[in-house]
Amino acid sequence: MRPIQIVPLAGLPEVRPGDDLAALLLAALRGAGLRLEEGDLLVLAQKIVSKAEGRYLRLSEVEPSPEAAEIARRDGRDPRLVEAVLRESNEVIVASQRALIVEHRSGAVCAHGGVDRSNVAEGEDAVLLLPEDPDASARRLREALARESGVRPAILIADTQGRAFRRGVVGVAIGCAGVRPVVDLRGVRDRAGRPLEITQVAQADELAAAASLAMGQAAEGVPAVLIRGAPLRPGEEPARSLYRTKAEDLFRH
């Protein structure tokens, strides 16, 4: 098995609404002396996809609902920010001074419904929302890259999330195109010939975590990464297939 390479694509400009991400990525690849190859995966930080899609919200234009005002008062939060979170969410999972964790519209459980204030260049008043439909964003980008380069790479859109039971955030997938989010090993046997006890591997989340190593979080962060040589299982399932339904989940009821 050949090594897997994780290549940070430095040299992307600050992304603005309407930017052509496929063109920017191909330019960044050229700048790094690289061309897309069959089997490549591009991992994009959610923020640059949201920025290209203009997913900004001005808090000064948000009117808090009574529910948002009540959560904000009780937990010491900005009521307009809480309202923005609630609009992006199906359900509140935990609301306290320590955390505001919701089920996002997509079905993902995450802090603040993905509503983010950091690394937003549009001023103190603006927050950035997750892409409207990250799987659709990934599919569109994949097709644009195929048209412009002749190679159809797999695409992940990645975010970072905290976890139950473990400290710190890790990269996770929120949008997929051409790579199977969950690989099902049911029926696969171990070295001794017994069925494996572990039957589902979150391939897309492991890829997003690997990409996150090369992205960093801070001012010098790199928002796109090429993963080459990974033993990808292809597939067209959406990132949503990573999200446990409420009925299936052991940790909310």
Q: Rule CB under 8 A: is residue 5 a binding residue for a second copy?
A: yes
Is the separation of the CB atoms in 82 and 70 below 8 Å? Answer: no
Q: Rule CB under 8 A: is residue 200 a binding residue for a second copy?
A: yes
CA–CA separation, 97 and 115 (whole Å): 17
Among 45, 81, 138, 242, the residue binding a second copy under the rule CB under 8 A is: 242
**Based on CB atoms, which residue is closest to a second copy, 137 or 161?**
161
For residue 226, what are the β-bridge partners? 7, 42
Among 33, 38, 150, 198, the residue binding a second copy under the rule CB under 8 A is: 198
For residue 189, the 8-state DSSP code is B
The residues in 90-109 that bind a second copy, with binding defined as CB under 8 A, are 94, 96, 98-99, 101, 108-109
**Using CB under 8 A, which of the segments 3-11, 15-23, 71-79, 146-154 binds a second copy?**
3-11
Among 36, 212, 224, 235, the residue binding a second copy under the rule CB under 8 A is: 212
Q: Rule CB under 8 A: is residue 121 a binding residue for a second copy?
A: yes
Q: How far is CA 141 from CA 23, 25, 218, 249, in A?
A: 10, 10, 25, 32
Q: Which DSSP helix (H) or strand (E) runs through 26?
A: helix 21-31
CA–CA separation, 136 and 54 (whole Å): 15
**Based on CB atoms, which residue is closest to a second copy, 75 or 148?**
75
For residue 159, what are the β-bridge partners? 172
CA–CA separation, 244 and 103 (whole Å): 11
Q: Which DSSP helix (H) or strand (E) runs through 159?
A: strand 154-161
Q: Rule CB under 8 A: is residue 170 a binding residue for a second copy?
A: yes
CB of 147 to a second copy, least distance (A): 27
The residues in 7-66 that bind a second copy, with binding defined as CB under 8 A, are 7-8, 10, 14
